[in-house]
Structure 1
């Protein structure tokens, strides 16, 4: 028989190898599967990790309204009736760029990247159409 000690809120059970060999009378229920995006009743699970915390925070209300509109939309194409909700959400998110900026390049990065490409193109020597014709003729001659 295992020895049981209580220390404050904790219960400590000292068991021997033989104690473990006896089948336990305690049975635990099977764990319920954790819900995904939709709960069993069909409602949106706003606590789903798949939403990345978007349902909370300074624009959580706007996100939930836009996402709900899209999810329950019966319009064709789906969500086409949700433009105002998404514009409201986007407007809110633009007020918090540090929080909602995409993980990719920002608009400034894209502008810098485009400027960099233009500079690189200007550095490259431009081939004239005559140079291109010489290359085509030379490659045709090599094939013969």
Structure 2
């Protein structure tokens, strides 16, 4: 027979081999799946990791207003009545380009890669020129 006692908030149970010889009758409660972006009541879950911190950053208020407007929009074309809210959010985000332009513009990324490749190519050429000129100046 197991010995059970409480230690603070925990329950400690000591069992024997005989206790483990019979199948367990313990049933665990069914785990509810974690909430996503939209809660069961239809409201927005602002702490959802899928928002990536957008709801709490320097433009969090503007983001929440624009997203709420879109979510609760009943316009014929959903969100078409939220232009001003999204414009305000975009203006705010433009003030923090290093924070909100993490992915960057694709053209900007391509230009940076091309520049980096050119610089690396020039380094390789300079090394080859230096090596070839030093080897030709040595006496034979």
TM-score (norm 1): 0.61
In structure 2, how many angstroms separate the alpha carbons of the residues matched to 1:106 and 1:58? Answer: 24
Aligned to 2:28: 28
Pairwise mapping of residues 53-72 of structure 1 onto structure 2 (< 5 A)? 53-72=53-72
Provide closer, same or farther for how the CA distance between residues 98 and 16 of structure 1 changes in structure 2, counting only shifts above 3 A. Answer: farther
* 1:39 Cα deviation after fit: 0.9
- Cα drift, residue 18 of structure 1: 2.8
Cα distance change of structure 1 residues 75 and 2 upon mapping to structure 2, 3 Å threshold:
same
1:50 shift after superposition: 1.8
Q: Is 1:89 matched up with 2:89?
A: yes
Measured after TM superposition, the shift of residue 68 of structure 1 is: 0.7
Q: Shift of the alpha carbon at 1:54?
A: 1.2
TM-score (normalizing by structure 2): 0.63
Distance 1:84 1:25 in 2: 59
Correspondences of 1:68-83 after superposition (within 5 Å): 68-83=68-83
Distance in 2, matches of 1:29 and 1:9, equals 19
Please say which of residues 45-54 and 25-34 is displaced more in the overlay: 25-34
Q: CA RMSD in A?
A: 3.1
Deviation of residue 63 (structure 1)? Answer: 0.7
Figure out how many residues of one structure are paired with residues of the other and give that number: 115
Listed as ranges, the gaps of 5+ residues in structure 1 are 117-144
Return the alpha-carbon distance in structure 2 between the equivalents of residues 99 and 21 of structure 1.
59
